[in-house]
Amino acid sequence: MNYPYQLRTFEAYQDAYNKSINDPEAFWAEVAEQFTWKKKWDKVLDWNFKEPKIEWFKGGQLNITENCLDRHLATKANEPAIIWESNDPNEHHRVLTYKELHFKVQQFANVLLNNGVQKGDRVCIYMGMIPELAIATLACARIGAIHSVIFGGFSAQAIADRLDDAGAEFIVTCDGAFRGAKDIPLKSVIDDALVGNKTIKRVIVCTRTRTPVSMLKGRDVWWEDEIKKVETMGNPKVESATMDAEDILFILYTSGSTGKPKGVVHTTAGYMVWTNYTFVNAFQYQPGQVHFCTADIGWITGHSYIIYGPLSAGATTLMFEGVPTWPDAGRFWEVVEKFKVDILYTAPTAIRSLMGFGLDPIKGKDLSSLKVLGSVGEPINEEAWHWYNEHIGQNRCPIVDTWWQTETGGVMISNLAGVTPSKPSYATLPLPGIQPCLVDENGTEIEGNGVNGNLCIKFPWPGMIRTTYKDHERCRQTYFSTYENLYFTGDGCLRDEDGMYRITGRVDDVLNVSGHRIGTAEVENAINMHAGVIESAVVGFPHDIKGQGIFAYVIYDGTHGDANLSKQDIIQTVSRIIGPIAKPDQILFVPGLPKTRSGKIMRRILRKIAEGDTSNLGDTSTLLDPSLVQQIVELAK
């Protein structure tokens, strides 16, 4: 397969960019022509940001798995689609060719059908990083069921909230998951999440860790038993369901400024075109190369650049079950060497953590297969960028710093590897189709270069969010109401003298911890559930490895006696309610929180104190009790 829309020179990028702005419909129609459609679209784009209404390729019909699997069979049947590397370096790796993956997806699609899953039903997938996770995801898409993958690090309460919001009727999970030295009892977490749940009809459990599990009669079935039934039926073919271009492909929950997670909705055709186009262009993928995205499929990066982008492009995608530092900090480099990885796509937090181990873990590892490096999830600091460039890329691999979001479906601002210029800590230039703009507090566009502002996007792109599940108003309010006729990203951004973009971080109450988005309100809600906590306020502070750490100010009635033990208990509660990723790094017990007379917490002040910068706390005269600030400063010392 070649990619006629792959941009191989800077001039080709400029031409494509100009065309995408001057005639977006013709531009995207040409790209979309390269895919397999059951029926071509009637209209390329219909939109307004007011409602918002975003419709791409309306009237078109297709199935994304036909584009990810069937269409490659003629030329790539025996080429690897998925290479899987275990958490345990001594366990044999697995390779699934396109033909095998095509077979297994249909086989599991049959399992779903036999268990009563129908088009449009919501299937929650809560699994570790094993090939069956990709198979389950694609099997949903095969029959038109909507998948909602939940990261294996989320706890029972977080899952329960997501199941409830999606009205999910089916769950696919594992007995457990291996992650480094840990063995996470996924099925038992699901059992806890299902206490009181009324919608789930069936739980399909795949064997991985052989952790003992309880199986509820009539509700829980084993993956392997169900596959056997399909084999007895003679493995019937499952024709791909006919999906409208704007039918929902999946829901993925993400944190926002309120405590309730948002179900970001992506639809079929636009998401497929966008993930494919951005995959082929940002990474400059060449047929035969091995693409290693280290994200978990529970996050958007895994959806777009482990599954849909690479597979729709007929690429070889590498799935890794483990973590970068187990059994030692050479694990990534071992994987790169073992599979001759061409493209490595990871997060700054992983790079910073590996930097901490020095160069020994890299010594003796053959990294000469690497051609392109990628970074995603948070701003990459210059030190990490240079280390990545020098020690991993050996000064010969372009680094793509890809800025995007769960809501954008795929990469929005990034250099194209080796084709457009890179600049350390800059995402650089927009991809074709993306019209970024910076606005001030009042929503006035800030023109020119060498300026700072809030990052917005002016025009729709195929992979953008369509709605928040069953709550369109929330989608409108969150993204389309702050500034009229603009999509607001929630990020601050700088445009330098050369017109290059540098993301400076979130400007709302959302934290970015180790590249994971966590809403402060969510953490506060969890802390407040702990007995004895009266109120809390959470802010971010700079953290050497995680990028941002979580600092919690807590008003606590102190019945426990031992402050340290109490803090450990609170951390435990957050871990149980949300998951270990949301654990506060620091907790400070305070007598009160600095509030304005209207009752709003002045987070600006709390952020400064958490950063240890108390020299200038700004105007505190509007506070209800200005003396409180000095008390908190003293306690924080």
List interacting residues with ligand PRX (CB under 6 A).
Answer: 254, 300-301, 375-379, 401-406, 427, 489-491, 503, 506, 512, 517
Q: Least Å distance between CB 266 and ligand PRX?
A: 12
Q: Least Å distance between CB 296 and ligand PRX?
A: 11
Distance between CA atoms of 222 and 204, rounded to whole angstroms?
Answer: 6
Burial degree of 634 (CB within 10 A; 0-12, 13-18, 19+): exposed
Nearer to ligand PRX, 238 or 300 (CB): 300
Nearer to ligand PRX, 98 or 271 (CB): 271
Nearer to ligand PRX, 262 or 567 (CB): 262
Q: Least Å distance between CB 381 and ligand PRX?
A: 10
Q: By the 8 A CB rule, do 531 and 560 touch?
A: no
Q: Least Å distance between CB 300 and ligand PRX?
A: 5
Nearer to ligand PRX, 54 or 590 (CB): 54
| CB contact burial 232-242 (16+ within 10 A = b; e otherwise) | eeeeeebebbe
Nearer to ligand PRX, 200 or 494 (CB): 494
> Using alpha carbons only, what angle is made at residue 613 by residues 610 and 616, rounded to the nearest 5 degrees?
125
The one-character DSSP state at 323 is -
Query: What residues form DSSP beta bridges with 506?
Result: 491
Q: Least Å distance between CB 556 and ligand PRX?
A: 31
Which pairs with CB-CB distance under 8 Å and at least 24 residues apart come from 227-236? Answer: 227/107, 227/108, 227/111, 229/111, 229/114, 230/107, 230/110, 230/111, 230/114, 231/107, 233/110, 235/103, 235/106, 235/107, 235/110, 236/110
Q: By the 8 A CB rule, do 269 and 58 touch?
A: no
Residue found under tokens 């709550």: 471
Distance between CA atoms of 199 and 195, rounded to whole angstroms?
Answer: 11
Q: Least Å distance between CB 254 and ligand PRX?
A: 5
Nearer to ligand PRX, 339 or 479 (CB): 479
Q: Least Å distance between CB 252 and ligand PRX?
A: 9
Task: Enumerate the H helices of 38-124 as residue ranges.
Answer: 64-68, 73-76, 98-114
Query: How far lies 593's CA from each of 596, 622, 632, in Å?
Result: 10, 14, 9
Q: Least Å distance between CB 305 and ligand PRX?
A: 9
The one-character DSSP state at 341 is -
| Helix-helix angle 131-143:98-114, to 10 degrees | 60
Reduce the secondary structure of 193-232 to three states and give it as a string.
HCCCCCCCCEEEEECCCCCCCCCCCCCEEEHHHHHHHHHH
Nearer to ligand PRX, 200 or 439 (CB): 439
Query: How far lies 374's CA from each of 319, 401, 421, 497, in Å?
Result: 16, 6, 14, 24
Nearer to ligand PRX, 221 or 392 (CB): 392
Residue found under tokens 């995007």: 404
Q: Least Å distance between CB 478 and ligand PRX?
A: 12
Give the 3-state secondary structure of residue 534.
strand
Distance between CA atoms of 636 and 165, rounded to whole angstroms?
Answer: 39
Q: Least Å distance between CB 400 and ligand PRX?
A: 9
Distance between CA atoms of 624 and 608, rounded to whole angstroms?
Answer: 19
> Using alpha carbons only, what angle is made at residue 402 by residues 56 and 85, rounded to the nearest 5 degrees?
100
User: What is the residue type of 367?
Assistant: L
Q: Least Å distance between CB 217 and ligand PRX?
A: 39
Nearer to ligand PRX, 451 or 623 (CB): 451
Q: Least Å distance between CB 378 and ligand PRX?
A: 5
Nearer to ligand PRX, 254 or 566 (CB): 254
Nearest residue to ligand PRX, by Cβ distance, number only: 406
Nearer to ligand PRX, 253 or 459 (CB): 253
Nearer to ligand PRX, 125 or 593 (CB): 125
